[in-house]
A and B are shown apart, each in its own frame.
Chain A
Amino acid sequence: MNEFLEQFLIESRELVDQASGDFLALEAAPGDRARIESAFRAVHTLKGAAGIMDFHAMGRALHALEDVLSRLQSGANLVTPALVAGGLEAMDRVTGWLDAMQADGVPPAAADAEADTLVARFSGAATDPPPEASVAEEDWAAELLARYPEAARDAACALRYAPDPDCFFRGEDPLARVSRLPGLLALEIAPAAPWPALAELDPFACNLTLLALLSGPPDAVAGLVTGAEVRPLRPGARSADAASALSEPALALLDAQLDLLAGHPGEGAAGRIASAGRVAGNVLRHAGRAGDAEAVGRAAAESLAAGEGSALARAIARARDGGDETPAEMAAPARPAADTSPEPAGPSGEAAARYLRVDMERVDALLTLAGELTVAKNAFAHVVAMVREGGDPVAVAAALSDQQAGLDRLVGRLQQTVLGLRLLPLSQVFGRFPRLLREIAGSLGKPARLVLEGEATEADKAVVDALFEPLLHGIRNALDHGIEPPAERERLGKPPVATIRLRAAREGEQLRVEVEDDGRGVDVAAIRAAAARRGLLSAEALAALPDEGAIDLVFAPGFSTASAVTDLSGRGVGMDAVRRAVERMGGRVAIESRPGVGTTLRMLLPFSVMLTRVMTVEVDGQAFGIPLDAVVETVRVPRSRIVPVGGARAFVLRGRTVPLLALGEALGRSAGGTQAPDVSVVVVAAGDQLGGFEVERLGGQMEVMLKPVEGLLSDAAAIAGTTLLGDGRVLIVLDPQELLA
Chain B
Amino acid sequence: MTVRLDGQLVRLEGACPVEDAEVLLRLLLASPEAAVDWRACESLHGAVAQVLLASGAPLQGPPASPFLRQWVEPALRAAMRRGGPFPKGEGMP
Contact = CB atoms under 8 A, between A and B. Distances in A.
Contacts of B51: 201, 203
A187 B43 CA distance: 16
A195 interface: yes
Contacts of B55: 198
A425 B50 CA distance: 47
A199 B71 contact: no
Contacts of B43: 176, 179, 445
A232 interface: no
Given A175-B72, A194-B85, A207 B50 contact: yes
Nearest to B82: A190
A198 B25 contact: yes
Given A201-B54, A203-B50, A208-B50, A191 B14 contact: no
Given A188-B79, A189-B49, A195-B54, A203 B21 contact: yes
Contacts of A201: 25, 51, 54
Contacts of B29: 198-199
Contacts of A172: 46
Contacts of B82: 190
Nearest to B91: A197
A721 interface: no
A174 interface: yes
Contacts of B54: 191, 195-196, 198, 201, 207
A54 B15 CA distance: 34
Contacts of A208: 46, 49-50, 53
Interface string A472-494: 00000000000001110000000
A485 B45 CA distance: 12
B15 A485 contact: yes
A380 interface: no
Interface in B13-64: 14-15, 17-19, 21-22, 24-25, 28-29, 42-47, 49-51, 53-55
A568 interface: yes
A168 interface: yes
Contacts of A195: 53-54, 84-86, 91
A302 interface: no
A188 B15 contact: no
A82 B73 CA distance: 46
Counting contact residues on chain B (CB < 8 A from A), the size range is 35 or more
Contacts of B91: 195-198
A188 B50 CA distance: 13
B75 A188 contact: yes
B76 interface: yes
A187 B76 CA distance: 10
A201 B76 CA distance: 17
Contacts of B42: 487
B15 A189 contact: no
A148 to B, nearest CB: 11
A568 B19 CA distance: 9
Nearest to A207: B50
Counting contact residues on chain A (CB < 8 A from B), the size range is 20 to 34
A197 B85 CA distance: 10
Contacts of A190: 79, 82
B18 A568 contact: yes
Contacts of B85: 194-195
Contact of A204 (B2, B18, B53, B72): B18
B18 A176 contact: no
B45 A173 contact: yes
Interface string B65-93: 00100011011101100101110000111
A184 interface: yes
Contacts of B19: 568
Given A168-B47, A173-B18, A173-B46, A187 B2 contact: no
Contact of A198 (B72, B74, B79, B92): B92
A581 B63 CA distance: 46
Contacts of B72: 175, 187, 189
Contacts of A204: 18, 21-22, 47
Nearest to B57: A198
Given A174-B46, A197-B92, A203-B47, A487 B25 contact: no
A698 interface: no
A568 B22 CA distance: 12
A206 interface: yes
B16 to A, nearest CB: 9
B53 A198 contact: no
Contacts of A187: 71-72, 74-75
Nearest to A490: B14
A485 B84 CA distance: 32
Nearest to B89: A198
B18, B24, B28, B93 — most chain A CB neighbours (10 Å): B18
A195 B88 CA distance: 13
A271 B91 CA distance: 58
A175 B44 contact: yes
A175 B45 contact: yes
A187 B19 CA distance: 24
Contacts of B17: 445, 485
Given A195-B84, A195-B86, A179 B67 contact: yes
A195 B52 CA distance: 11
Contacts of A196: 54, 91
A173, A174, A196 — most chain B CB neighbours (10 Å): A173
A208 B53 CA distance: 10
Contact of A199 (B18, B24, B92): B92
Contacts of B67: 179
A191 B84 contact: yes
B93 A199 contact: yes
Interface string A502-534: 000000000000000000000000000000000
A206 B76 contact: no
B25 A203 contact: yes
B29, B47, B51, B78 — most chain A CB neighbours (10 Å): B47
Contact of A487 (B15, B46, B47): B15
A187 B84 CA distance: 17
Contacts of A189: 49, 53, 72, 75-76, 79
22 contacts: A163-B46, A168-B18, A168-B47, A173-B47, A178-B71, A179-B67, A188-B79, A191-B54, A191-B79, A191-B84, A194-B85, A195-B53, A195-B85, A197-B91, A198-B28, A201-B51, A204-B18, A207-B54, A208-B46, A208-B49, A445-B17, A568-B19
Interface of B: 2, 14-15, 17-19, 21-22, 24-25, 28-29, 42-47, 49-51, 53-55, 67, 71-72, 74-76, 78-79, 82, 84-86, 91-93
Interface of A: 163, 168, 172-176, 178-179, 184, 187-191, 194-199, 201, 203-204, 206-208, 445, 485-487, 568
Given A175-B44, A201-B54, 11 more contacts: A168-B45, A168-B47, A173-B47, A195-B53, A195-B85, A198-B92, A203-B22, A203-B25, A204-B47, A445-B43, A485-B17
